[in-house]
């Protein structure tokens, strides 16, 4: 039995009363509880993100945004928006870099965690906080960045059984949570081209990611601007469950400790480009993070930093390799770019 208190006990009672819950429900409630209760970032947390690895990551994003804004005509007012800004590190580095080229936008953070807001306030005291995009100003172009944001949105999973497609659920059995197939037929929810897949095939979708892309694309078309979504995932259609959990920088069972671990899934970038284009917005492309950062000059920047601070040269080169190495973040992580139809092409795509 699960001990009293905490999300595990709540899920156990809910499943005992109403039956298994969807993977999407499980993931949404777990991450809401997780991010509300702690600062998960950094060496002392559960995972480390690119902005915490090196200042170069945020600096190059700031340069990319400034370049886009300058070539688009330097329109004012302009708004920098970050979805899930973590500790505010990326925004701090990006805005410091962009300022050198005259770009000083108002900074808007879309964040719901009270604990993270307190940390962000110390990093970017001039920021304006929002629960969602609806309260971000509609006047002037937007420069939007989301790093490792989409991966934490709840995914819906379908599994092919001998009786047809079913939603993948989370049940409680023998004192633990585990994935089970639901009872309701779900064949109409599966794309026709994929319905004849072998039994056991799992298909993931992320309605939340598609909804955000749809909203951001519409804002870019209406207001002008550009956006970068950076996350780990695939730019081709794939099958299988990618749900995973991380605690103290190690992968753990995603069904073992709901609300106490970071639950994520790979982003299906292949499905998001058509959403963007359906609104008349420009999809700039989806490229590996390593290739994108190289195109923006990260290796030259790293060498300059190493020469300026030779005592840190080894650490700088190690961080660079972590960001662009194919065996590390360089290949698995993708940069997804989009822009207003009135704005220019972006470097690196």
Digit-by-digit pLDDT tens for the chain (349 residues) are 444 458 999 999 999 999 999 999 999 999 999 988 767 776 666 778 999 999 999 999 999 999 999 999 999 999 999 999 999 999 999 999 999 999 999 999 999 988 899 999 999 999 999 999 999 999 999 999 999 999 999 999 999 999 999 999 999 999 999 999 999 999 999 989 999 999 999 999 999 999 999 999 999 999 999 999 999 999 998 999 999 998 887 899 999 999 999 999 999 999 999 999 999 999 999 999 999 999 999 999 999 999 999 999 999 999 999 999 999 999 999 999 999 999 999 999 9
The helix (run of H) or strand (run of E) holding residue 335 is strand 333-339
Measure the CA dihedral 235/210/156/290, to 10°.
30
CA pair distance 295, 147, nearest whole angstrom:
18
In this prediction, residue 1 carries a pLDDT of 40
116 near 86, Cβ under 8 Å?
Answer: yes
Please tell me the distance from the alpha carbon of residue 261 to that of residue 137, in angstroms, as a whole number: 34
pLDDT of residue 228: 98
- Extract the tokens encoding 96: 């410091």
Tokens at 341, concatenated = 């139809």
Both tokens of residue 168?
């993948």
Q: Which residues fall within 8 angstroms of residue 86, CB to CB, at 6 or more apart?
A: 41, 49, 51, 52, 116, 120, 147, 148
The label of the residue with tokens 């009270």 reads: 114
Classify residue 245 by its DSSP letter: E
């Amino acid at each position: 039995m699960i001990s009293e208190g905490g999300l595990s006990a709540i899920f156990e009672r809910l499943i005992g009363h109403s039956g298994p819950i969807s993977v999407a429900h499980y993931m949404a409630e777990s991450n809401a509880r997780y991010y509300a209760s702690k600062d998960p970032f950094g060496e002392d947390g559960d995972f480390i993100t690119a902005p915490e690895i090196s200042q170069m990551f945020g600096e190059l994003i700031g340069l990319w945004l400034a370049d886009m804004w300058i070539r688009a005509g330097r329109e004012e007012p302009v708004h920098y928006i970050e979805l899930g800004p973590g500790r505010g590190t990326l925004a701090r580095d990006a805005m410091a870099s962009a300022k050198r080229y005259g770009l000083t936008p108002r900074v808007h953070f879309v964040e719901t965690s009270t604990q993270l807001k307190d940390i962000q306030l110390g990093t970017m005291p001039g920021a304006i906080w929002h629960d969602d995009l609806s309260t971000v100003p509609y006047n002037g172009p937007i420069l939007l960045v989301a790093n490792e944001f989409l991966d934490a949105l709840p995914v819906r999973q379908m599994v092919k059984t001998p009786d047809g497609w079913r939603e993948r659920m989370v049940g409680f059995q023998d004192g633990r949570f585990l994935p089970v197939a639901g009872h309701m037929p779900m064949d109409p929810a599966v794309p026709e081209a994929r319905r004849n897949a072998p039994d056991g095939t799992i298909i993931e979708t992320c309605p939340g990611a598609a909804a955000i892309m749809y909203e951001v694309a519409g804002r870019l078309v209406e207001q002008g601007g550009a956006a970068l979504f950076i996350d780990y995932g695939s730019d081709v259609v794939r099958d299988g469950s990618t749900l995973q959990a991380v605690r103290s920088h190690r992968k753990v069972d995603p069904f073992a400790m709901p609300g106490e671990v970071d639950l994520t899934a790979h982003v299906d970038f292949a499905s998001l480009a058509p959403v963007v284009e359906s609104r008349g917005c420009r999809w700039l492309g989806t490229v590996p993070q390593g290739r994108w950062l190289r195109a923006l000059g990260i290796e030259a920047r790293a060498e300059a930093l190493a020469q300026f601070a030779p005592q840190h040269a080894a650490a700088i080169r190690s961080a660079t390799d972590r960001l662009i190495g194919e065996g590390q973040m360089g290949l698995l992580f993708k940069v997804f770019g989009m822009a207003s139809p009135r704005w220019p092409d972006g470097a690196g795509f």
